[in-house]
C-alpha cells in the first residue's frame, strides 16, 4: 500500500502574493483574511526533517503552493511533487486564499496515491510513526478516533465554527444516528484503543440524543484519507463542495476537511486508532510548556497554532527554532546542499 503526504503552504511574506491577496481581499475585514492564517514562522525546514526522520516510509510528498516555495527547498528531490493551485482547481476558482477551497479537491492532484495523509504546515511529527498508525494494513482503511462530543459555541462566532456546524449538518443528513447499528458502536464508535472517557461520552450522547450527532471531536492533526471519500462526497453534495471551492476567502457557508474526516467516521469507513497530537497557541501562557513538549518529544505530533498576536513572532520564533533544532539538527534530503 503506497501512502503519500499532502501539505498546503503559503509564504505570507511574499510581496507578490500579498499584492494579489490585497487585490481580492474583502473590503470588510474579518477572520477569513486575518494575517495569522498566512504567517510563516520560519519552521518549515523542520517540518521536512520531521517527516523524513519520523515517517520515511511515505512514497511522494505533494507540496501545494500558490507558486512560491521555501528558499531552502531542493525542488529536484525525486520524492517531491510541487503542486500549484491551478494544477488541480478549476480556473474560475482562482486565485484562492482559502485553505478550505483547496482541501475539497485534493483527490484531483495528479499522481496522488489512493491513500494519503493530509498535513497543515503548522503540525509537526515529534516521534517515529508507523504507516499502520495511519492506515490499517489488512483493510487499507484509515485509522481514526471516533468520539461524539457536542460542538461548543460561546460568544461571537468565527467563520471556523460556522464551517464546523455546516459539516456536522451534512453528516446528520446522510448518516442518521438512529440507523447506526449496535455493532458499529461496539466495534468502531467505541474501542479499547480510545480513552475510556471518550467511550463513556459517546454512549451517553447516544442515550441523550438518539436522533442526531451533536458533534464529533475534531483533531487539529494530520489525517489519513482515501480519495474514495472525496469522490463519495462530491457525488452526494456537488453544489456544496463547488460553492466552497469557489470561495476565494473563507465564508460562513463553507465546509472544510472535517466533513471528509467525519464522513469516514460516521460511515464506518475507518479502523479505530488513537490520535496523540497536542495543540498549543504560540503565546506567553503556553510557550514554556510548548517548548518542553517539542524538546522532550512528549507526543507523536504537535500543532503550533498562530494566535494572531503581532508580538508573538518576535518573542518566540527563535525559541521555537532552537527547540526543533535540538531534536532535528541535521539537514534532510529536501534541503539544498
Convert the pLDDT of each residue in 284-329 to its tens digit: 888 999 999 999 999 999 999 887 766 677 788 899 999 999 999 9
Helix (H) or strand (E) holding 17: helix 15-24
State residue 200's pLDDT score.
97
- Mapping DSSP to helix (H, G, I), strand (E, B) and coil, where does residue 64 land? strand
Residue 229 has pLDDT above 70, yes or no: yes
Q: How far apart are the first and last CA of the chain?
A: 32
pLDDT averaged over the chain? 93
Q: Does domain 3-276 have CATH number 3.90.550?
A: yes
State residue 220's pLDDT score.
86
- Mapping DSSP to helix (H, G, I), strand (E, B) and coil, where does residue 221 land? coil
- What residues contact residue 311 under an 8 Å CB cut-off, 6+ apart? none
Confidence of residue 42 (pLDDT cuts 50, 70, 90): confident
Residue 270, classified by CB atoms within 10 Å of its CB into exposed (0-12), middle (13-18) or buried (19+), is buried
Distance CA 125, CA 53 (A): 9
What are the strands, taking DSSP E only, across the chain?
3-9, 61-65, 80-84, 115-120, 123-125, 143-144, 223-226, 271-272, 277-281, 301-305
Distance CA 39, CA 10 (A): 8
HSE value, Cβ hemisphere, 13 Å, CA-based, for 64: 28
Residue 69 has pLDDT above 60, yes or no: yes
Query: Which of these, 94, 321, 113, 59, lies nearest to 227 by C-alpha position?
Result: 113
Q: At what angle do helices 312-327 and 44-54 cross, to 10 degrees?
A: 30
Distance CA 211, CA 234 (A): 25
Query: Which of these, 47, 11, 52, 16, lies nearest to 324 by C-alpha position?
Result: 47
Confidence of residue 71 (pLDDT cuts 50, 70, 90): very high
Residue 31 has pLDDT above 60, yes or no: no
Question: Per-residue pLDDT averaged across 130-156, rounded?
Answer: 95
- Lookup result for grid cell 518549515: 44
Amino acid at each position: 500500500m503506497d501512502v503519500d503526504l499532502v501539505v498546503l503552504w503559503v509564504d505570507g511574506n511574499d510581496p507578490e502574493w500579498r499584492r494579489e491577496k490585497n487585490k481580492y481581499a474583502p473590503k470588510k475585514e474579518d477572520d477569513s483574511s486575518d494575517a495569522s492564517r498566512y504567517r510563516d514562522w520560519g519552521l518549515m525546514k523542520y517540518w521536512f526533517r520531521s517527516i523524513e526522520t519520523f515517517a520515511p516510509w511515505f512514497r511522494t510528498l505533494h507540496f501545494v503552493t500558490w507558486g512560491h516555495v521555501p528558499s531552502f527547498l531542493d525542488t529536484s528531490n525525486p520524492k517531491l511533487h510541487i503542486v500549484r493551485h491551478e494544477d488541480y482547481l478549476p480556473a474560475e476558482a482562482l486565485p484562492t486564499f482559502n485553505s478550505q477551497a483547496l482541501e475539497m479537491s485534493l483527490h484531483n492532484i495528479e499522481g496522488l496515491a489512493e491513500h494519503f495523509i493530509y498535513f497543515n504546515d503548522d503540525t509537526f511529527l515529534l516521534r517515529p510513526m508507523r504507516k499502520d498508525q495511519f492506515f490499517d494494513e489488512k483493510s487499507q482503511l484509515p485509522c481514526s478516533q471516533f468520539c461524539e462530543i457536542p460542538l461548543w459555541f460561546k460568544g461571537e462566532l468565527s467563520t471556523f465554527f460556522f464551517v464546523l456546524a455546516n459539516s456536522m449538518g451534512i453528516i446528520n443528513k446522510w448518516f442518521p444516528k438512529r440507523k447506526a447499528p449496535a455493532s458499529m458502536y461496539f466495534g468502531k464508535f467505541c474501542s479499547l484503543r480510545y480513552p475510556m472517557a471518550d467511550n463513556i461520552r459517546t454512549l451517553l450522547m447516544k442515550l441523550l440524543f438518539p436522533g442526531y450527532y451533536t458533534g464529533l471531536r475534531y483533531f487539529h492533526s494530520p489525517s489519513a484519507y482515501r480519495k474514495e471519500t472525496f469522490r463519495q462526497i462530491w457525488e452526494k453534495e456537488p453544489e456544496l463542495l463547488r460553492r466552497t471551492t469557489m470561495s476565494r476567502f473563507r465564508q460562513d457557508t463553507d465546509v472544510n476537511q472535517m466533513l471528509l474526516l467525519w464522513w469516514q467516521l460516521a460511515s464506518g469507513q475507518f479502523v479505530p486508532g488513537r490520535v496523540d497530537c497536542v495543540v498549543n497557541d504560540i503565546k506567553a501562557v503556553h510557550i514554556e510548556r510548548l517548548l518542553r513538549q517539542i524538546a522532550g518529544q512528549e507526543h507523536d505530533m504537535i500543532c503550533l497554532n498562530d494566535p494572531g498576536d503581532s508580538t508573538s513572532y518576535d518573542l518566540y520564533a527563535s525559541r521555537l527554532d532552537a527547540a526543533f533544532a535540538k531534536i532535528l539538527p541535521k539537514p534532510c534530503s529536501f534541503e539544498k546542499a
